[in-house]
Amino acid sequence: MTELRLSAFAGHRRAVLPLGPLTLLAGPSGCGKSSALRAYEALARLGGGAALGEVFPDPVGCVPERARPDAQRRRGFRIGCTADGPAGPVRLDLAVQAEPRLRVVGERLTAGGLVLLETALRDPGKCAVQAAWHTAGPTPVPHGPLPDDRLGTALLPLRVAGRTPGQRRVLAAAEQMVVALRSVFACDPDPGRMRGPVPAGSGRLLGGCGNLADVLWRTRAECARRHTQFVAAVRAGCAGPVADVLAVPSADGTVRAALDRGDGIRTELRRLGDGELRYVALALVLLTGPGVLEVDPAGEVPAALQTLTVLADGLDRGLDPGQRSELLRLAARMCERGHIRLAGAVSDASWAAGTDGVTVVHLEP
């Protein structure tokens, strides 16, 4: 994903945010950092096939405050993004009606200046939009209705036969966009949920990282090299010596995480500070992949070629300057390898100035 567009969303108007492998959205409280990440996550969930109502439980809160209703008393919001890849830059733009009823009222998928998919609400009485997609000529050809509560781009592989070069171009662009959107993990570690024991489960990390101990039990056994890197990162960001990071099982079937101090002492994570816990969780996220995080990986893309994007609201929350710098260095190193991308929100990015590979987007209230 190379660009996020917030044409009219919450506090944003005509905002275009460039996205690099490692992007920091910086600005004071109220500038729209969190809402930008919320829009990114919403597009990701729609790309994964989620219904509009699941993605936007409070759609009116996404409408710009000063937006006036039209003659039919309708108000809404508009968001979009660009995904680069083999099909070139592919743009997706989405218009959503929030009032009086939540629905998609328009969607456009374009590549190379050519409209590949276009939908529009023709009959407000029906729960559908009329769709037209590229077949061969310079303009899209009408092909019938699509549901008004789903992202049409995600449905194209089920509707387009792929018989003509034009149809194959539509499919290539749609698949590129959907793969980019689905490979997203929204992460905001909650220290309060990380301190206690957790049931042994799937070993897939949740967005709040409350099941960190269960995930450690899995990752420590599966990849010694990655675990060694994780221990080194924890050592750099936590007080006191750290020889290892363990998951300790209990007789009742639960697991606790602990730091091995190397002298026979183990410090359970419940004794760590909030900043230390957030640092540990974010370091683990950066060092793992789609198979460990609670995401829906793109099965059509080989694991070695998949790129995961992590969305981290309040990336610097609770971190001291040393932890902040160590986490940024780790993120830059991992993003440079090409298998993970990070978009994080911070109140101030002056501490990141001059770091290679970091894109800083300054937002104003």
Same domain, yes or no: 167 and 99: yes
Same domain, yes or no: 260 and 219: yes
pLDDT of residue 117: 95
Residue 364 lies in a domain: no
Same domain, yes or no: 98 and 68: yes
Confidence check: pLDDT of 243 > 90: yes
- Model confidence at 280, pLDDT cuts 50, 70, 90, reads very high
- Model confidence at 365, pLDDT cuts 50, 70, 90, reads confident
pLDDT of residue 234: 98
pLDDT digit string, tens, across residues 305-334: 568 999 999 999 999 999 999 999 999 999
Same domain, yes or no: 44 and 145: yes
Last residue of a domain, one of 184, 215, 241: 184
Of the candidates 224, 239, 241, 233, which has an alpha carbon nearest to the alpha carbon of residue 285? 233
pLDDT of residue 294: 67
Q: In whole angstroms, give the CA distance from residue 143 to residue 134.
A: 10
Give, in order, the Cα–Cα distances in Å from 236 to each of 231, 256, 325.
9, 22, 10
Q: Which two tokens stand for residue 360?
A: 């800083």
Same domain, yes or no: 43 and 114: yes
pLDDT of residue 262: 94
**pTM, two decimal places:** 0.93
Select the highest-mean-pLDDT range: 75-84, 282-291, 346-355.
75-84
At residue 178, the 3 state secondary structure works out as helix
Report residue 260: phi and psi, to 5°.
-85, 115
Q: Tell me the average pLDDT of the chain.
A: 92
Residue 276 lies in a domain: yes
pLDDT digit string, tens, across residues 58-105: 999 999 998 999 888 999 999 999 999 999 999 999 999 999 999 999
Last residue of a domain, one of 292, 316, 343: 292
Q: Which residue range(s) make up the domain with 208?
A: 190-292
pLDDT digit string, tens, across residues 127-160: 999 999 988 776 678 788 999 999 999 999 988 8
Residue 345 lies in a domain: no
Residue 302 lies in a domain: no
Same domain, yes or no: 175 and 58: yes
Residue 146 lies in a domain: yes
Of the candidates 362, 324, 352, 328, which has an alpha carbon nearest to the alpha carbon of residue 342? 328
Same domain, yes or no: 136 and 196: no
At residue 273, the 3 state secondary structure works out as coil
Could you give the percent of the chain with pLDDT greater than 70? 96
Task: Assess contact for 263 and 244: CB atoms under 8 A.
Answer: no
Residue 135 lies in a domain: yes
Confidence check: pLDDT of 303 > 70: no
Task: Assess contact for 317 and 8: CB atoms under 8 A.
Answer: no
Residue 349 lies in a domain: no
**Tally of domains in the chain:** 2
Task: Assess contact for 186 and 315: CB atoms under 8 A.
Answer: no
